[in-house]
Structure formats: C-alpha cells, structure tokens
Amino acid sequence: MSNIGSFEERVKNFDWSISEKELGYKEGDTINIGWYCSDRICQMGKGDRPALLWENSLGEEKRYTYEDIRVCSNGIGAFLQKLGIKDGDRVCLFMDRVPELYIGLLGILKIGAIAQPLFSAFGDESLYVRLENAGTSAIITQRKHASKVRKILDQLPNLKHIIVIDHDLAKELKEKEIAFSMEAGRLDELSIFPTKAESPSLLHYTSGTTGMPKGVQHVHYSLISQYLTAKWVLDLTENDIYWCTADPGWVTGTSYGIIAPWALGVTQVVLDSGFSAENWYRFIEKYQVTVWYSAPTAIRSLMKAGEEVVKKFDLSCLRHLASVGEPLNAEAVVWSEKVFGLPFLDSYWQTETGSIMITNFPGMLIKPGSMGKPFPGITGTIVDAKTYEPVNEIGVIGLIAFRPGWPAMMRTYWKNEATYQGKFKHGWYLPGDRARLDSDGYFWFIGRDDDVINTAGHLVSPFEVESALLEHPAVAESAVVSKPDEINMEVVKAFVTLKPGFQVSEELELEIMNFIRKKLSPLAMPQDVEYMDSLPKTRSGKIMRRLLHAKEWGEEVGDTSTLEND
Amino acid sequence: MDELKDVILKYVIDEYADEDDTVTCDTPLISGGLVDSFSMVSLKRFLEMRYKISIPDDDATPEAFDSVDKIADLVLRFTSK
C-alpha cells in the first residue's frame, strides 16, 4: 500500500493540518526547516541513520548520519554568525553537489538567514545580477568557482564574505575570502533562530520573458507542503534510499533534494558527477536506490543510450520513479515501464509554487503523457486566457490556474512586489503555462504562455540572453527564441545582425556561443546562431520574436500587420 | 595523433576548465562534470570547424566525448572517411 492510499479519499478529507500534525507543528509555533531536517530526526532517536551518501566523479565517497548533518550544519550556522550574518541576511550557496551545499543550506536556515542557492555553472554575469538583486552578504563556494566571484566583487558592495570550503593552504586567500572546513567546524550545540511560519527561508532565482531574473521568496512554512507531497507523491518511507537527480541550484534540488527527504528522515544519495547512462545505473545498483526522482531530459538521454546498457545492471531495487521539470512525453513513460518495469510518474510544479501541484500518484491510472491531477488541497483548473474564467469545455486549451493558499506558495518576488501581484488574475495564481483537461480530470500540458525557454527543465529568459549578446563586440541586434530539441525539449537559438566591419563566419558563431556560455551559463548558450541582415520588427521598432519562434517550430506566422517591412 | 590530441586538449583547457582543474588526455570530461551536455555542443562545433568534418548527432554521444583520447578517436574516424 502506498502512503497516499486512496487518492479520492484523500481529496475528500484533505486538510494541511495532516502535515502539521505529523510534524508536530501548531499555528504560532516556531518552525525552522534547518531544525526539522536534522535536530528533530535526532530527537526522535534516529541520529545514527544515514542521511546522505555521497559520491563524486573520482569515486570518492562520504557518508553522513543525521547526527552528522546536525552538528555540521550547527557549525556552519555558528561560523556565519561569527562573521556577523544575522536573521534575514542573504547567504548564497554557489557550489557543485558537494555535501557542504546540502548541509550548508540547513546551517543558513538554522540562524534565520535566507539561503540563496545558485547553479554553479552560472557565469559571472548571471551570478552578478542575482547577487546584486538580493543584496547578498556572504557567499559559500569552492575555490574552483571563487574566480567568478572575484571578477564581480567590486560591483557588489553588500557582499562582505566569500567563504571557501576547500581552501588550498598553499595558496593565499584574496580580498574578503575566508576559509572554512565543515569537518573541523562540527558543533554540538547551536541556538536555533526562532523562525515562524512566515519567516523567509529561501530565495530562488527564476527567469521571465522580460526584465532580469526574479528572486522567488519562500518561507519556513513551505515545509508543510514539501513534507506531505514527498510522502504522498514520491511515496517516501524511512526505509527508502532516495535519489533526486536535480541540482540544488534549482528549486527541485532544494524542495525535494534537501528539505523533503530529510524532514522525512529518509536516506538520500547524491552523485556529484556529469551524466553517463552507465554511471547512473551503476550508482543505482551500488546504493540500492528505491525511489528515483529525475527529469525528462535525463530520461530521454537514458533512452538514447539504449536498453543494452540497462541489462548490465541489477536495478530490481527500484520501486518508484517520478519526473519533473518539463512535460514527460508518453514514449518515455512507456519506455521506462518496459525497461525498469515501472513507469516514470510525471509531476508538475515550478519555482514559485514551491511544491508539487499536479501529478500522477502511486496507484492511480496513469495516462502516458498526462500531467495527472492536482494534489489534494490544491484547487487547479484551466482558465480562459482573456477572461480568466474557468473553461468548462473538455479539451479546450487555456491557462493553468491555482487558487492561492497552499503552504509552499512563494510570498513575493524579492524587491518586485508589482510583478508578483501581476501573477494573480481574478483570484487565480497563473504559473504561465497552457494546458487542457480531459473528461477524467487529467491535465495535459500544451506549452508556455510566454517566450520563456524551457531547456532541460530550466527556464532561460530570452531577454537576458539578448542583453548579453549585445555585449559582444560584433553583435548589433539580437533576438532569442527556443527551437525544438529531441533530448532537451527546447534549446536556445539566437538571431543576430552584425555591426559594420564584422563578417559572417563559423568562427564568429562559435565565439558568440562561447561568449554566452561563459557570461551566463551553458544552458543559456545558443546552440544555433543565425545571421540576418535585419530582424523582423514592428513599426514601433519592437523585435517580433513571435515570427522567429514560428519559423523554428514550423508554425503559422499569424498576424503580421504590424510588421515594419510588411 | 599527438598533435590532434594537443589541439583538443588545449581547447578543452582554455574553454571549459577552471583554474584549479588538471586536465589530461584521459580525464573524464562529461562523466567527470567538466563539460556538460550543453557545452558539448560548442566542443562539437569546434571540432567540425577545425577539422572540416561533420559529426552526426548519433555519434556525438556523452561516451564518445568523455575524454580527449576518445574525442581524438572520433575525429580520426570522420577525417579518414
């Protein structure tokens, strides 16, 4: 029997107090995610249980019990306090998937500071705009990434401390850098900051169509959603070995790669390594992974690697598979059922929602390609894109909409309340995606309702890439759209015009690609750069991305009456 | 072959390695996390341009790009065609 039991019964009798009771929380109590994920489990007499089994690409292994993550996170919290970091300050985590990233998040939360995890592949420009916007006080990083911080340090007056977790004693620390060893810093006692339900916890940055990335602010009460969704959707139990393949630089990696499994006292495994189908299967077999939460891009990559490689390993340990990040195509569901004997169950949510919203549950009829149904307690529907009234007709495409009020919902965009308010229409929260409903109440994903590019489950802002392209000396104008990709669903494509004196060439195309890769991130790098004599514009001079998008996707161009040269 | 590997190794170090990374011809690039699947596209583009070859997507696998040694083998396979 799965944790959720009967989905229909859960929907009928649902109240978030189910989660509150299980976590021993009452309204008005202190609620600190850092404490719940470590100290509470130890107080329950489970301090000796493994919390984190870690391995890197060199085959090095580390193992941490719940008692280990309790004292290590205490040490990190105390170290930050000694530096003067206090509640409400933003502390960035900018690391590969090393244990300090996972445990450091708890340490930051324990002292009431706000954790700001950022993807370690970000280039200096991406890093700068996010640290600048957040007014970040300290950044915890590895020496391999410290050089990116040094490049932008002069422009970040609020950034007072660069904490290097693996400092090479043979080298000198640079300006504002300070060394810290998690192992040496273990601390038995730390006064946990008495955060309340609405105290800020995490700041995750996400991209939009226009403007710079937005800081999605979450609160400690998000734990209530994250705990119960992990229990009912991922079906986690204490006996599981759980692998969430998401990087904690993104929300899945924190909500379901740190907070939920540890609040449930589950053992999780982390592989700090690049992708290789063989290595992933070896890892599952070695650690006897039972529950696996991954992403469609990874699943499609595994499909591409073929079935023969699967047969080299005994993966019978697996009992439950789930997926998130982009729509999971029906072929991937059918394939996983064939090769693993289990379907990947799709789940839908986003940085702003903080926890799973629409999903396929253990035990329910799976319709391959469908998003599933809303989690109990979540009121979700499809609304008309103009009137924002619910669409009652089956199969009609509209906007996905949720009634606000679940615990993990973002509380605002950092220093951007107006944009936050703009996400609500007629009492609905609109995540910006289009879908349709079938006669059984299943949601079917259609696509984004804006120009944001979803590549391998990560959102890339065309505006951010276009702005960065204009900083290249050869680029006069730029327009960025998505183009279809078999593995990543979408990838970035750039259209550019060149300044006088620059010639079209393959060398220049590669140079532009690498320029964006280093400045923003590999995800944002255009995989294709097309030169144009001029970009399509409206008569008022606005670039018509829509036309370029239609060209890439083989769609109807639509109304071109405002086209400048029409 | 050595010259080919030297060129690829230099490009990998210049473009993808951090200052503390030690990269040799057998360093795992993709499985080691030094080059991700997105960055692999720019590496492939460089090889195609430099050696005037076309590497089909089916051959541009993470396994085939996992070290300078393997990449050199791949390039040789297509330059000799």
d(CA A306, CA B56): 17
A308 touches chain B (CB under 8 A): no
A275 touches chain B (CB under 8 A): yes
Cβ neighbours of residue A182 closer than 8 Å, sequence gap 6 or more? A72, A75, A76, A99, A100, A103, A104, A165
Which H or E run contains B8? helix B2-16
Contact A121 B34 (CB under 8 A): no
Contact B62 A510 (CB under 8 A): no
Written as one letter, the residue type at A538 is: T
Number of inter-chain CB pairs under 8 A, A vs B: 80
Contact A96 B33 (CB under 8 A): yes
Distance from CA of B79 to the nearest CA of A (A): 19
d(CA A368, CA A346): 9
Contact B36 A509 (CB under 8 A): no
Distance from CA of B80 to the nearest CA of A (A): 22
> How much is the pLDDT for A545?
86
> How much is the pLDDT for A563?
67
Q: CA-CA-CA-CA torsion for A106, A109, A110, A111, nearest 10 degrees?
A: 140
Contact A274 B28 (CB under 8 A): yes
**pLDDT tens across B1-16, in order?**
789 999 999 999 999 9
Spell out which residues of chain B touch residue A147, defining contact as CB-CB under 8 Å.
18-19
B59 touches chain A (CB under 8 A): no
> Quick check: A275 and A324 in contact, CB under 8 A?
no
Whether the pLDDT of residue B54 is over 70: the answer is yes
> Quick check: A532 and A496 in contact, CB under 8 A?
yes
Cβ neighbours of residue A8 closer than 8 Å, sequence gap 6 or more? none
CA of residue A171 relative to chain centroid, distance: 34
The residue in chain A having the minimum alpha-carbon distance to the alpha carbon of residue B45 is A510
Contact B62 A301 (CB under 8 A): yes
Q: How many CB atoms lie within 10 A of CB A96?
A: 20
Spell out which residues of chain B touch residue A510, defining contact as CB-CB under 8 Å.
42, 45-46, 49
Contact A57 B32 (CB under 8 A): yes
Spell out which residues of chain A touch residue B33, defining contact as CB-CB under 8 Å.
57, 96, 272-274
**Sheet-wide strand order for A344-348:** A61-65, A50-56, A267-272, A241-244, A291-294, A320-323, A344-348, A358-359, A373-374
- Taking only the tens of pLDDT, chain A with its 566 residues reads 899 999 999 999 999 999 999 999 999 999 999 999 999 999 999 999 999 999 999 999 999 999 999 999 999 999 999 999 999 999 999 999 999 999 999 999 999 999 999 999 999 999 999 999 999 999 999 999 999 999 999 999 999 999 999 998 888 999 999 999 999 999 999 999 999 999 999 999 998 767 789 999 999 999 999 999 999 999 999 999 999 999 999 999 999 999 999 999 999 999 999 889 999 999 999 999 999 999 999 999 999 899 999 999 999 999 999 999 988 999 999 999 999 999 999 999 999 999 999 999 999 999 999 999 999 999 999 999 999 999 988 999 999 999 999 999 999 999 999 999 999 999 999 999 999 999 999 999 998 888 889 999 888 989 889 989 999 999 999 999 999 998 999 999 999 999 999 999 999 999 999 999 999 999 999 999 999 999 998 777 778 888 999 999 988 777 666 666 54
B63 touches chain A (CB under 8 A): yes
Contact A527 B31 (CB under 8 A): no
Which H or E run contains A179? strand A177-179
A522 touches chain B (CB under 8 A): yes
- Residue of B24, B42, B43 for testing the chain A interface, max A β-carbons within 10 Å: B42
For residue A514, give the nearest of B18, B19, B42 by CB distance: B42
Written as one letter, the residue type at A207 is: S
d(CA A226, CA A445): 23
Contact A523 B38 (CB under 8 A): yes
Spell out which residues of chain B touch residue A523, defining contact as CB-CB under 8 Å.
38
| ipTM of model over 0.90 | yes
Spell out which residues of chain A touch residue B26, defining contact as CB-CB under 8 Å.
none
Whether the pLDDT of residue B33 is over 90: the answer is no
d(CA A444, CA A436): 5
Note the pTM of the prediction, 2 decimals. Answer: 0.91
Can you say whether residue A456 is alpha, beta or left, with left for phi > 0 and alpha for psi between -120 and 50 degrees? left
